[in-house]
């Protein structure tokens, strides 16, 4: 879509306002809105100003002026606003130099694709994420100097089997048995259908929706793979739609990786393949039908996985999911079909176009622009340097004996460990000026000060269960 076509769409649909959206550094969509009369072709070229110092991880107050530059190909009608509103995703630029901003996550993603093309390896990276989330009836939490608590609840939750619901009809999903009984046990079918249809109405291509393994409303809606930047754009629309449809029904969605103790957390298994022209490059005659290039790509993923975790598993809560026993891949190995490996090769189809790698570590709390870019850069590094992934591990890794298991590398055990891994291993991200040093340094600083240290300084409620009587 061109600027002229966007303006024509505004007239045709009687649009009244334009919502301009962009991604902050940690990974939340930001926006401001202008009357439709303020949008003309010059705005697509000149952009509009805003205060970059008020955005997390961005500018200092003495250099706060920034520009949002709307991208016409991202235009879509907002399905939730009362006033007819057209939204567009924006790139961020410096108003003086007109350079794309290094800490704009979308800019990082765009540069990763440009770098892929510059290497000659391929010209397209297809990404297919499987984002999981919980649909709760309520989330309550608070923290102060002398107290801290959280409460999540769902009509489906196993803990509500005995609650007086006037009447309680049963149909509570047992822990680890949410994948995937039909209604009435699955009580969220209609809501997920509404989410799915709203996504389709907004131009997203949905492959499936279903309940996930955990009790209490864990869900998944899968999008068909797309180009890396487009898929990151679509993941932001995905989250926006899921959260707002849930709100229509007086429910709340969270993409926290581990909101429940004792049941499965929410991951975002990410499928990746590289193409050149119309040719898939990951299909071949090697293990699991992979090409030599794909195997080297696995080598890069496994080598750099601890550093990738800093972007793909970017919260302290992420490492409450990355523990053994819940299908979360803490062991850095690869295998066909095996869901206990961090890199899996799906075997559903013999079609070479379906050949891909499934990197199972990421979770949906991540900034998709940064996470997808880091994954691609690791794959490129593996291909360029012919990194041998070693032998596949086709056993159930969780059933390995202690001695054999000790030889399998592990993901970091905490966000602090992941940031340390990124600090030690980030040269592969700097190639092609994709992740610049200020992106790496600011990410480590922001996450350390605002999340790692913030949690470290506070007593945990369970510590009172363990230690209050000492």
Residues with active-site annotation: 51, 130, 132, 212, 220, 269, 339, 358, 360
Tokens representing 374 are: 């880091």
- DSSP structure string for 314-332: -STTHHHHSSTTSS---B-
Quickly tell me which residue has 């440009």 as its tokens: 114
Tokens representing 135 are: 């649909």
In 314-396, which ranges are continuous DSSP H helix?
Answer: 318-321, 368-384
Q: Which residues contact 401 (CB under 8 A, 6 or more apart)?
A: none
Q: How far apart are CA 282 and CA 122, in angstroms?
A: 11
Among the listed residues 299, 302, 230, 313, the one whose alpha carbon sits nearest the alpha carbon of residue 268: 313
Q: How far is CA 449 from CA 25, 52, 311, 456, 457, in A?
A: 15, 20, 16, 10, 11
Q: How far apart are CA 133 and CA 128, in angstroms?
A: 16
- 429, 111 Cβ separation under 8 angstroms: no
Per-residue DSSP letter, 171 = -
Structural element, H or E, at residue 395: none
Q: What are φ and ψ of residue 298, in 5° steps?
A: -60, -40
């Amino acid at each position: 879509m061109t600027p002229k076509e966007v303006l024509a769409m505004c007239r045709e649909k009687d649009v009244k306002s334009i919502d301009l959206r962009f991604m902050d550094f940690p990974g939340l969509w930001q926006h401001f809105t202008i009357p439709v009369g303020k949008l003309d072709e010059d705005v697509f070229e000149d952009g509009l100003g805003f205060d970059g110092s008020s955005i997390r991880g961005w500018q200092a107050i003495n250099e706060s002026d920034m520009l949002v530059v709307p991208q016409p190909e991202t235009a879509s009608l907002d399905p939730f606003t009362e006033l007819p509103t057209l939204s567009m995703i924006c790139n961020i630029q410096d108003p003086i130099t007109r350079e794309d901003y290094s800490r704009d996550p979308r800019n990082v993603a765009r540069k990763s694709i440009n770098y892929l093309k510059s290497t000659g390896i391929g010209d397209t990276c297809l990404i297919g994420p499987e984002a999981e989330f919980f649909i709760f009836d309520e989330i309550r939490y608070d923290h102060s100097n002398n107290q801290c608590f959280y409460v999540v609840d769902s009509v489906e939750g196993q803990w509500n089997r005995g609650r007086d619901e006037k009447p309680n009809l049963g149909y509570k999903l047992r822990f680890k048995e949410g994948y995937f009984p039909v209604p009435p046990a699955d009580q969220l079918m209609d809501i997920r259908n509404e989410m799915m249809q709203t996504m389709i109405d907004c131009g997203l291509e949905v492959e499936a929706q279903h309940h996930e393994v955990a009790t209490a409303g864990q869900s998944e809606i899968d999008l068909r793979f797309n180009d890396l930047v487009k898929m990151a754009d679509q993941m932001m629309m995905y989250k926006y739609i899921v959260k707002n449809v849930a709100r229509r029904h007086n429910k709340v969605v969270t993409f926290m990786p581990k909101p429940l103790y004792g049941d499965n957390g929410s991951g975002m298994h990410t499928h990746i393949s590289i193409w050149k022209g119309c040719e898939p490059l990951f299909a071949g005659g090697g293990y699991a039908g992979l090409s030599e290039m794909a195997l080297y790509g696995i080598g890069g993923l496994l080598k750099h996985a601890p550093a990738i975790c800093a972007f793909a598993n970017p919260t302290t809560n992420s490492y409450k999911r990355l523990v053994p026993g819940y299908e979360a891949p803490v062991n850095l190995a690869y295998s066909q079909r095996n869901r206990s490996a961090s890199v899996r090769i799906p075997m559903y189809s013999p079609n070479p176009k379906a050949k891909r790698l499934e990197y199972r570590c990421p979770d949906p709390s991540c900034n998709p622009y940064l996470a997808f870019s880091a994954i691609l850069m690791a794959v490129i590094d593996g291909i360029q340097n012919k990194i041998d992934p070693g032998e596949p591990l086709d056993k159930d890794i969780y059933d390995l004996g202690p001695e054999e298991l000790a030889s399998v590398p592990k993901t970091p055990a905490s966000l602090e460990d992941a940031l340390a891994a990124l600090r030690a291993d980030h040269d592969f991200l700097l190639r092609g000026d994709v992740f610049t040093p200020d992106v790496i340094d600011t990410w480590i600083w922001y996450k350390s000060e605002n999340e790692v240290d913030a949690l470290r300084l506070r007593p945990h409620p369970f510590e009172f269960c363990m230690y209050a009587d000492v």
